[in-house]
Amino acid sequence: MRHFAGANKPIAAICHGIQVLAAAGVLRGKTCTAYPAVKPEVENAGGKWVDVEVSGAYVESNLVTAPAWPAHPEWLAKFLKLLGTKIEP
């Protein structure tokens, strides 16, 4: 995880997945979201918390985050866009 963060490679985390990023020490100075109960861990790790609808997602630089499973469509769409993926009907 530290390699991806240091190299500014795409990272996606949803729900409690942000705890891995907090433990790796890569949230300092980043704005993100996750499951609401994880907010203290994000802030203790130096991250800035942003409230997002349960079906929404948030992007900052190389990081795509979302609060819970209802956000899967938006979270995946934003991550695919970050990866440069083009999806056509």
Pairing verdict, β 48-49 and 31-32:
parallel
Averaged pLDDT score across all residues of the chain = 95
List residues with catalytic annotation: 15-16
| pLDDT recorded at residue 88 | 78
pLDDT in tens, 3-33: 888 889 999 999 999 999 999 999 999 999 9
- The strand pairing partners of 13, in sequence order, are 65
The model's confidence at residue 61, banded by pLDDT at 50, 70 and 90, is very high
pTM of the model: 0.92
